[in-house]
Structure 1
Amino acid sequence: MAASLSVEKSLTQARQAAKKQDWLTAVTLNQAVLERFPKNKKAAKALAEMRVVATEGLFQRAQVAEQQDDWPAAITHLRAAFYLAPTHPQVACALAKCLLEDDQAVEALKVCDDILAISADLPRALILRGQALHELNRPDEAVQVLEKARVLTPDDTIIYRLLGAVAQSQGELETAEQHFEAGLQVDPMDVGLLRHISVVKRKVDASDPLIAQMRQAIAKLGKDNPRSAYVQFALFDLLHKCKDHAAAFSHLQQGNALLAKTTPYDFRSEAIAGAYAKSLFPEPIPESGTEPDTRFIFVTGLPRTGTTLTERILARDANVQACGELNILRAAVIQQMQTLQAKGQAQLSAQDIQALRDLLLSEFDSLSDGRPVMVDKMPLNFRWIGFIAAALPEARIVHMSRDPRAVAWSLYRQVFKGRAQGFVNSFDDIARFMIYHRDLMQHWNKVCGDRVFDLGYGALVNEPIASTKALAEATRLTWSEDWLTPEKATNHVRTASAVQVTQPVYKDSDQGWRVYEAELAPMLKALTTAGLI
């Protein structure tokens, strides 16, 4: 909008905004003038004059947004601050951190590289760069930069968490445990480390000192402290492995109840977005006149339905790049829907579809390693299947299904990053989300037809040859016996499935909920009432 204003009007509005300490508007307007006319002295002078006070003001407002987990607002203010002060290490690191929280690892890496070009041994920037590399599936580089950071700041437990996470993502569970233990030597009460070590630790008995250590951490934090929730989940993991099921489930309930209270799920916004997405595709989506070669594979479904296992199977093909869970599709679709709503536009035009396609291709190209097929296994992309079918005819869509009881139990026992999966903390919310998922998939199956390939998790693990051959046919890839050993895949796994999928396929996981069948009676009732079982 600023670019459409005359230069004088832009400068006038920028001055007025600066007087009101509306630093974001003031910086944005002057920046727009300089982008059009790089030699404009008035805009350059205005930015120079406000640099110190505006940088501080923008940084403070970003901190407020960050405290509210409003990452887009925090990023917007920090980008403006970074534009004003590109050599300010605190601003650069804050921006990189928020970008990582918002799943924008590519830009976060660039910000880290920019600041490290000025200050090569800045520990915080090195740590954030390591995290960005980890999230971009570049584990060897991540370890290298994190080890450099450890030499500089050996007492920073974030380094040990990240080193352990990288090892875990590669299936190196003993190495991961060693990193987490090293971090706990620095800070025995580090909540993140306690949660991580509970996942990878294989040998546990009732006398394990970690159990007492975790109980001490909860007592120190207080049961109502949101951070205690993660320790409750860690205790569940350890006690579950000890087969102390009653105590384990008690901690799991407490952890979920605390998360449900502190981060309630916004079903209204979810339902509105889903209804609007459906309204944009009321009729069957026309197929392209030709059958293009597969370039993208989207593996979708409810979380914990086997999306990671399916990605590992596909990754056994040398031509496939397994990208993990990307935020590209969601960000592009949300941006487009917001634009359409602002215009009062009820239908997608051919130009809208082309614009979405151009954006998606650009984003995917930025992550491509040159292999012809890319896999995005973000489960919640089931919400945008119509957009995939319309904008990317060269994409194949795989939708995972699984026994609802196994899914609900697996969701309830996990801690997920961010609020997008906040529905997992109560049985009623899980059932509600499953109904929403079922309704949306009924619509996509209606308008997309056989462009959506349904793959059952039970069949995948119990009838692997037939299921993987059907998957190969649906994705137009060439099946081989390698598809039967997904545990040998070398792709990076950064999700809760990392421990399971780096091991041989476990065929009885759908029955795991039965150990807690009595405790899960409310969950089973909610699923029954919803008509899901």
Structure 2
Amino acid sequence: MPSPSSPDQLTVHEALTRAHAHWNAGQADQAEQWCQRVLAAWPGQADALHLLGLMAHAYGNLDLAISHLRQACQAPRAPAVYSSNLAEMCRQKGLLAEGEEAARRAVALDPALESGWNNLGIVLQEAGKFEESRTCLERVVALRPDWAEARNNLGNTCRRLGHLDLAETHYRQALALNPDYAEAYSNLAFLLSTQGQHDAAVRAAQQAIDLSPRLVDAYLNLADAQISRHRYEAALRALDMLHAFAPQHPAALVASAKALRQLERLDDALGFARQAVALAPSSAEAHLTVAVVLQSLGHTDDALVAFAKAAELPGAVAQDALVGRASLLMEAGRKDAALAAFAHALEVFPDSVSALAGRVDARKLQPGDADIAALEACVEDGERRALTDRITARFALGKAYMDIGEPVRAFAHLDEGNRLKRASLDYDSAATGQWMACIAQAFAAERYAALPRATEPSELPVFVVGMPRSGTTLIEQIVSSHPQVTGAGELSALRLSIENGGHFPDGVSTMTVEDAGRIGQDYLRRIMPLARGHARLVDKMPANFLYAGLIPLILPRARIIHARRNAVDTCLSCYTKLFGGDQRFTYNQTELGQFYGYYRKLMAHWCGVLSPDRFIEIDYESVVDDLEGEARRLIDFLGLPWDAACLNFHDNPRVVRTASVNQVRQPIYRTSKGRWREYEDHLGPLLAALGGEVR
């Protein structure tokens, strides 16, 4: 049909053909001129508007692109693909309702339109309508089995539905169809990380980066996998590469905050997290990260506000925010409020394993408790659940069945939970034993007195060391109830300061007085903001027993308290607890018993070289039998006057952020003494590894 006023007397079709030719040749200005000629002659012509929309989108002008596509779709005979493209642009803009409407219109106009079903599936995915999304994307795959992008999109939806086995299958099929598909590698990396396959996740993320060096999600997934492997410096290096070309990307700032928090660079972490909130005030993930960092800083009330804000915002982290808030209330000793918060989380997310596990851990269960059945249902889901959910459910059920006196069921779940957790970790028991032997050798008794010592006069640090679950939290709670003492919880500060100071223990042989002083000063710099004017600060990281011989060299006035407990009771308590930190030796009974042997041997060495005015040992059982006598002994060791508040440690309002949070909110009780004998039939590998050590 001739255009009524075209100066060249071209048909619309001919003019549009020229426009497309110029566009395909990279001549955008000429293409736009031909489209404008068509619109001047035929206002509202759908094909010209559609091409202008595609051009605007290609040049990053999303608002103009959507405006052109909206007009194009209003034409009476506009092709279905125009509505499909409008749907995708609306999705990118966050206009999910309009995008869904446009996509549904597209597939209604042309039920065989693959791109229409694909775009509808993606819009529904982002809107949280995962079952509908899956139906749409499965239709796309049926219509076009060789479309890698559709397979990748279907994998994303399956992952959000919790069908992780199907998600992995679809990602790998996408890569089989297109081996250079960077986005599929990146998504596979994220999935593998959630399944505990962190090394494979790192490889997949790096492959994505190699294929597409500016793919933001690939760097984020690489950082996430490195954080999961506790390689925080490596995570920061990945994020530095991302910051180089996307310095204001909110997700990158959030990831940096998470890594910095693990390195206990809390002020830096808070700065990154707040910068992310400023750039993306509607990001639930950014608000959640602020909450977690504030929690680590001990700013409980501010953290609770940030958790609540994160829970209010749309996004996938609302569940984490609700559970995080409930857990913080529990740490702060507000048990009734915590249980109400867990209940609220389960009202919003009835399928939440973390909320169920948190509520189970917070109270003593009775037979027939509904949470047990709910957790059993989670276990029955098998690999459709994320690995973390499966492990968490197993440990929670172990605790639940111990509560109600069913040890056979309890250990069936605990053994499987420990097996799954152990399979996700790298740990070499023999190498650990050799390393501890090297530590003792580096601090041999015959030359210990001649090792260089710093001159630092500070008496602030008090280290409570020992095995996990040996009573370290109880001791910290008792002494921190004294008005001149503050408890800082389990800090990584000493390990980080020592690692910054050089190789340990090899570097001890060449360490100078100045080197020792630098390490001590670095440690004090890290903990000083937590002291808040108190005369003593308790650092109760149990694993600091490894450094007990170095502490007097770098901090000569520091004190060390070794918490001891019956060997089997200690190991049983470790085996039944899913730790938040890095306790890799606890998830296999034989390795756990071996580690205890290494630890006892090293502690016996320290007893032979450390000065009794700076090092004492406290038995958990003695504290239980004679609280006042042992409490007075502790306070005298700290060089402080006695205060009766130490006997009412369970009333101490401080936040307790360890696996023993429930126990230290109660007065002294004796039921944990000799507890292992009730479960002796289930502890064969542990008892064999411990040998005769059952003290």
Q: Same fold (TM over 0.5)?
A: yes
Q: Which residue of structure 2 aligns with residue 115 of structure 1? A: 276
> In 2 relative to 1, CA 81–310 (structure 1 residues): closer, same or farther, beyond 3 Å?
same
How do 1:64-83 and structure 2 match up within 5 A?
Answer: 64-66=225-227, 68-82=229-243
Aligned partner (choices 377, 381, 402) of residue 565 of structure 2: 402
Q: Which amino acid aligns with 2:381?
A: K
Q: CA offsets per residue over residues 3-46 of structure 1, 9 Å max, x none?
A: xxxxxxxxxxxxxxxxxxxxxxxxxxxxxxxxxxxxxxxxxxxx
Q: Which residue of structure 2 aligns with residue 499 of structure 1? A: 662
Q: Which residue of structure 2 aligns with residue 255 of structure 1? A: 417
Q: CA offsets per residue over residues 153-203 of structure 1, 9 Å max, x none?
A: 48710011111111110222222222222222233332322221110133x
Unaligned runs of 5+ in 2: 1-212
Deviation at 1:463, TM superposition (A): 0.7
Q: Hey, what's the Cα distance between the residues in 2 that align with 1:455 and 1:500? A: 18
Q: CA offsets per residue over residues 102-144 of structure 1, 9 Å max, x none?
A: 5544432221123234444432111111111112222111112
Q: What secondary structure is seen at the aligned counterpart in 2 of 1:399?
A: strand
Q: What secondary structure is seen at the aligned counterpart in 2 of 1:485?
A: helix
How do 1:130-209 and structure 2 match up within 5 A?
Answer: 130-153=291-314, 156-202=318-364, 204-209=365-370
Aligned partner (choices 389, 405, 423) of residue 585 of structure 2: 423
Q: Which amino acid aligns with 1:208?
A: D
* C-alpha contact (below 8 Å) 1:357/1:391 kept by paired residues: yes
Q: Hey, what's the Cα distance between the residues in 2 that align with 1:285 and 1:110? A: 44
> In 2 relative to 1, CA 55–256 (structure 1 residues): closer, same or farther, beyond 3 Å?
closer
Q: Which amino acid aligns with 2:491?
A: L
Q: Which moved more, 1:279-288 or 1:459-468?
A: 279-288
> In 2 relative to 1, CA 217–319 (structure 1 residues): closer, same or farther, beyond 3 Å?
same
Aligned partner (choices 448, 469, 481) of residue 284 of structure 1: 448
RCO greater where, 1 or 2, for CA within 8 Å and sep 6 or more? Answer: 1
Identity fraction in percent:
27
Q: CA offsets per residue over residues 420-473 of structure 1, 9 Å max, x none?
A: 311111221111111111121122222223121111111111111211111111
Aligned partner (choices 464, 482, 502) of residue 317 of structure 1: 482
> In 2 relative to 1, CA 54–275 (structure 1 residues): closer, same or farther, beyond 3 Å?
farther
Q: What secondary structure is seen at the aligned counterpart in 2 of 1:210?
A: helix
Q: Hey, what's the Cα distance between the residues in 2 that align with 1:333 and 1:457? A: 29
Q: Which residue of structure 2 aligns with residue 210 of structure 1? A: 371
Unaligned runs of 5+ in 1: 1-51
Q: What secondary structure is seen at the aligned counterpart in 1 of 2:387?
A: coil
Q: What secondary structure is seen at the aligned counterpart in 2 of 1:135?
A: helix
Q: What secondary structure is seen at the aligned counterpart in 1 of 2:616?
A: strand
* C-alpha contact (below 8 Å) 1:285/1:389 kept by paired residues: no
Aligned partner (choices 470, 475, 493) of residue 305 of structure 1: 470
* C-alpha contact (below 8 Å) 1:305/1:400 kept by paired residues: yes
* C-alpha contact (below 8 Å) 2:438/2:505 kept by paired residues: no
Q: What secondary structure is seen at the aligned counterpart in 2 of 1:517?
A: helix
* C-alpha contact (below 8 Å) 1:99/1:107 kept by paired residues: yes
Q: Hey, what's the Cα distance between the residues in 2 that align with 1:124 and 1:191? A: 20
Q: Which moved more, 1:93-102 or 1:497-506?
A: 93-102
Q: What secondary structure is seen at the aligned counterpart in 1 of 2:448?
A: coil
- Structure number with greater Rg is 2
Q: Which amino acid aligns with 1:447?
A: V
Q: Hey, what's the Cα distance between the residues in 2 that align with 1:179 and 1:412? A: 28
> In 2 relative to 1, CA 354–89 (structure 1 residues): closer, same or farther, beyond 3 Å?
same
Deviation at 1:76, TM superposition (A): 2.5
* C-alpha contact (below 8 Å) 2:454/2:513 kept by paired residues: no
> In 2 relative to 1, CA 169–239 (structure 1 residues): closer, same or farther, beyond 3 Å?
same
Give me the TM-score of the superposition, normalised by structure 2. 0.64
Q: Which moved more, 1:91-100 or 1:282-291?
A: 282-291
Aligned partner (choices 517, 524, 528) of residue 687 of structure 2: 524
* C-alpha contact (below 8 Å) 2:372/2:400 kept by paired residues: yes
Q: Which residue of structure 2 aligns with residue 474 of structure 1? A: 637
* C-alpha contact (below 8 Å) 1:294/1:476 kept by paired residues: no
Aligned partner (choices 489, 492, 506) of residue 652 of structure 2: 489
Q: Which amino acid aligns with 1:408?
A: C
Q: Which residue of structure 2 aligns with residue 327 of structure 1? A: 492
